[in-house]
Structure 1
Amino acid sequence: MSRPQTTRMFESDFLEWFSRIHPATPFIAWIPVSSYIVYRSVSRHDLPVLGVAGLFFLGVFAWTFAEYVLHRYVFHWTKDTPIGRRIHFLMHGVHHDFPNDKDRLVMPLGFSIPLGVLFYAFYYFTMGLRVGEPFFAGFVIGYLAYDGTHYAVHHFKQTTRIGKWLRRHHMLHHHADHSGGFGVSSPLWDLVFNTMPKAKRQQSQG
C-alpha cells in the first residue's frame, strides 16, 4: 500500500488553506521587496553602487548561516510533551513525515513574513538604514535560493553534479541522519560545525 503524500495539519479549513503554498509564491512575494530595497539603496546615493552590491552579497552569505541555525535549532527543536510534539510537527515534523508534499516544500507566507520583519528590524537597528537595507535585500535572495533549492531537490530530477550532490546531501538528512545535513542550499556550515550527514545512523553503544 502506497504511503500518502500529504495530511491535514489543522481541523479548520481556513488554517489548513494557509498551511499550503504554491512554490512560486515566495518568489512573487519577495523578489519585488528585495528589488525595491536595492533600488532605494542605490537611489539614496549614500553608498557607491559597488558598496551596495557588496552588502547585498554579504546578505546572501549571511542567509546560509541563518538557514543552518534555523534548521538545526528551531525546525528540529523537540520536547516530548503533547504541546512540544505539536509545535515540532507544525514547524517541520510534517515535512519529515510527508517529504514529497508539494504544497509544503517552501515556507508559507504566514511564517516568512513575520520572520522577514524581525530580520529587517534587527538589521535596521543594528546596522542602520544605509547598511542594513542592502544587506537585508541580499538576505532575502539567499532565502529564496534556499526555498528554490529545497523544492528542486524534492521534485525535479537533478542532472548536474552540484544538483545531484545537494539532493543526496538533503536526502541523507531525511532518510539516514536527522542529526546532520542542516544546510539545504549549501553544505558550508555543516562542514564548519562537523554535521555532515552520514549514510547510516550511528548505532548506540552498550
Structure 2
Amino acid sequence: MVAQKFVVDLNKPLVFQVGHLGEAYDEWVHDPIVSKEGPRFFQNGFLELFTRTAWWVIPTVWVPVASWFISNSVKSGLPSLDVALLVFLGIFVWTLAEYTLHRFLFHVKTKSYWGNTLHYLLHGCHHKHPMDSYRLVFPPVAAAILALPIWNLVKLICTPSVAPAVFGGILLGYVMYDCTHYYLHHGQPKSDVPKSLKVKVFPLL
C-alpha cells in the first residue's frame, strides 16, 4: 500500500502542518503563493499576534536602542572617530553574519518535522508568501531574545567602552537589512540601482 502524500490545508494554521511534508517540503516552500493576504501561523491568537510586524516598527524600536548603546561609548570617553569606526565594524559584523545565515541556514534543505517547521518560521514563509508585508521583518520580541546572547558575546570579546558601539552598529546593520529586505519585496524603485537590486537580489531573499 502506497502512503498518501501529506497536503497542507491553507485554510488552517500552517506552522504545525509544514513539518509533515517531509522531503516534499523544499519543493512546496519554493512554490510561492503571490498574494498580499498572509496565512495564519498559529491557532493561538496570542502567538499569532507576535508573528505580524509592520516594517516601520523595526526602526522605531531599534534605532533608539542602538543610539543609546552608541552614546554609552561616547560617554566613556572614546574619541568620536573611534566610535564611528566601531559602529561601522558592528555593521560589517552583522552583514557578514546575515550572509552566512542566508548561505548556510536559511536556504538549507530539510525533511524532518522540526527541521521543516523551524525553517518555515525563520525563512521559508518568505519564499512561500513573498508578498505578505507583515512577515517580512523580524518581530521585535523574537529579535530581543536573540539580541541578548549577542550582547553578552560582544561584552565578552570587547572592552566595556568598545562593546556598546560595536553592538549599536550590529543593531543598525540589522535595521538596515530588514528595511532593505522589505523594500526589495514591496518597494517600487524608480532609479537604476534599486531597480537592479530588486531584480538580482529579490529571488535570493
TM bucket normalised to smaller: 0.7 to 0.9
Partner of 1:197: none
CA RMSD of aligned residues (A): 1.8
TM-score by length of 1: 0.78
1:185 corresponding residue in structure 2: none
Q: Is 1:169 the counterpart of 2:200 in the alignment?
A: yes
SS in 2 for 1:130: coil
Structural mapping, 1:122-161, within 5 Å: 122-161=153-192
**Equivalent position of 1:33 in the other structure:** 65
More deviation in 78-87 or 139-148? 78-87
Looking at both structures, which has the greater relative contact order when contacts are Cα pairs under 8 Å and sequence separation is at least 6?
2
Letter in 1 for 2:41: M
The CA deviation string for residues 42-94 of structure 1, in whole angstroms up to 9 with x for no partner, is 1111x211111110111112211011112222323442112221111111111
- What is the CA–CA distance in structure 2 between the aligned matches of 1:98 and 1:40, rounded to whole Å? 40
Query: What are the Cα deviations for residues 94-127 of structure 1, in whole angstroms up to 9, with x where unaligned?
Result: 1110001000111111321122112111111011
User: Which residue matches 2:113?
Assistant: 82
CA distance in 2, matches of 1:42, 1:4: 44
Out of 106, 110, 125, which is 1:94 matched to? 125
Q: Aligned residue for 1:12?
A: 44
Report the Cα distance in structure 2 between the residues aligned to 1:52 and 1:105, rounded to whole angstroms: 31
Q: Which has the larger radius of gyration?
A: 2
Provide TM-score, normalisation by structure 2: 0.78
Give the number of equivalent residue pairs. 173
Quote the offset at 1:4 in angstroms. 6.5
Q: Which runs of 5+ in 1 are unaligned?
A: 175-206
Structure 2 CA distance for aligned equivalents of residues 111 and 171 of structure 1: 24
For residues 190 and 119 of structure 2, the distance between their equivalents in structure 1, rounded to whole angstroms, comes to: 33
